Chains A and B, each alone.
Chain A
């Protein structure tokens, strides 16, 4: 199959880019792992919005406007497509229903979104412990809500899930929040900027009010967090307000921010730099989202964490630049269309510095105790990584050889940042100097049978 633009990911950035490109006349293939479009934020929105839009709120149901945009003769949306290789000149391999396929194009847009920041705490590998995002996906897609849940960490997503659970008639037992008074003080200097995003501020305050009115207990500046349990999470222990607490719980949902999912970009050598404000690695891009690998663009949370509304604008901007480079619109036409988008981008981003400062990653999870598992797949502890550093291990790729961290099936998605952070602390080097895992294709498992079934490009046309 051949097209002008291959988009990986049918979340807000991917869907907006597809619609913009298609309207200009580009042929677009959208590859997405999920059976239905929406990404994680608008997961399964077309089916779910009528069922429980009242619980999930307008910020969810408005995703139907984006999924509707995929219904265009120039867009071929391939659902259930698991991308395992991206090649800069210019093709993408994916598997679907047990067969491998290849699609070629002129440009690629990576719209692969975010991953939840790794949150290694004692007991975080127990069944019953999930990310807050996962808890929300269960509620959105499957209509399942935990009866005895504790939400742990920091950030607006914690409040959003708690409010949605409250509306669903199953409020969480408690919110155990890790942000401190110091974080609040540091956030104050961003309040003026955040006022430009006053709608987001207002929504945040409304959520806090709803939780207070609903009687959901909030514990603040929590430290020494541990999840107890033998074969399943049974309780959460923590210290807050100078007192030790223990809450019996059946589900523990963890969250302290999201970080760009950089797996695909890293396989083709796109440079990433450490973003201290967001405490994550982010790809180096120009204003349109174009990388130094000229055929590849990145938009949405995979480029920089900004949320769904930023993502859709960034996706549209990338599509405009791609259309201009492929000669479908002129530079002045591009700029004319981009002008209002850039203004929206600035407005939607206004709240972000405030949020980043008010809800930073939890200190305990950035520097876990020695006996805490960091690499879930290979069960490598923070102590194992520190010992590797003491033996002379400077970077995460060496750590793979020293202690197998990052060698399992998740390919470092849920340990990479922690491995780098522990090595950086131990070696007293910066995150930039320490670097990140080298990621290679296949970025998702592919069976030999699927490979053997690979269709030739010509055969498919």
Chain B
């Protein structure tokens, strides 16, 4: 997994909370836009397409393109429409339980 972010942050340091992403712990800014927060820590591919398995990441950042889909508590959600909260468990569409064993 790519871990060097293409983005750098203009923010003064903000409070971080722990979330689980595909079984690994990430510390993300509390209340931040989830898609942006994942991009900021170098996660660029959020899912693989059902047709060809191609990697996809956020495209529109406004809830219209559905390319940033992730699974949260068994439900498919748009990462760009969510905020980071402590303990969030994020997994992939293909493996909705993925990483939960690690908890």
Contact = CB atoms under 8 A, between A and B. Distances in A.
A324 to B, nearest CB: 33
A251 B36 CA distance: 14
Interface string B6-19: 11111100000000
Interface stretch (A193-201, A310-318, A409-417): A409-417
B69 interface: yes
B70 interface: no
Contacts of B49: 379
Contact of B7 (A146, A414, A445): A146
A132 to B, nearest CB: 11
Interface string A118-153: 000000011111110110011101111111110000
Interface in A27-54: 33, 35, 40, 51-52
Nearest to B81: A33
Contacts of A142: 9, 11, 32-33, 36-37, 40
B39, B54, B61, B69 pick with most chain A CB within 10 angstroms = B61
A313 to B, nearest CB: 23
B45 A141 contact: no
Interface in A352-388: 376-379
A423 to B, nearest CB: 21
Contacts of A33: 63, 81
Interface string A52-70: 1001000000000000000
A16 to B, nearest CB: 20
Contacts, number: 116
Contacts of B65: 376, 410, 413-414
Contacts of B6: 128, 146-149, 250-251
Contacts of A147: 6-8
A130 B40 contact: no
Contact of A134 (B40, B59, B75): B59
Given A143-B9, A144-B39, A168-B10, A138 B56 contact: no
B63 to A, nearest CB: 6
B8 A125 contact: no
B58 A145 contact: no
B31 to A, nearest CB: 9
B71 to A, nearest CB: 12
Interface in A233-270: 250-251, 261
Interface residues of B, number: 38
A129 B59 contact: yes
B55 interface: yes
A231 interface: yes
Given A138-B36, A142-B40, A413-B64, A52 B10 contact: yes
B76 to A, nearest CB: 7
A232 interface: yes
Contacts of A143: 9-11
Nearest to B40: A144
A250 B42 CA distance: 11
Nearest to A135: B61
Given A127-B56, A232-B2, A138 B7 contact: yes
Given A138-B39, A146-B7, A232-B44, A130 B58 contact: yes
B66 interface: yes
Given A142-B40, A144-B9, A378 B61 contact: no
B62 interface: yes
A174 interface: no
Interface string B71-103: 000011000010100000000000000000000
Nearest to A124: B59
A392 interface: no
Contact of B45 (A130, A231, A250, A409): A231
Interface of A: 33, 35, 40, 51-52, 55, 82, 115-116, 125-131, 133-134, 137-139, 141-149, 168, 170, 231-232, 250-251, 261, 376-379, 408-410, 413-414, 444-445, 447
Given A134-B60, A168-B10, 15 more contacts: A115-B64, A129-B59, A134-B62, A139-B10, A143-B9, A145-B10, A146-B7, A147-B7, A232-B45, A232-B55, A379-B51, A409-B66, A413-B64, A414-B60, A414-B65
14 contacts: A126-B55, A130-B60, A131-B61, A134-B58, A141-B33, A142-B32, A142-B40, A144-B10, A146-B6, A168-B10, A261-B64, A377-B66, A379-B51, A413-B65
Interface of B: 2, 6-11, 32-33, 36-37, 39-40, 44-46, 49, 51-52, 54-67, 69, 75-76, 81, 83
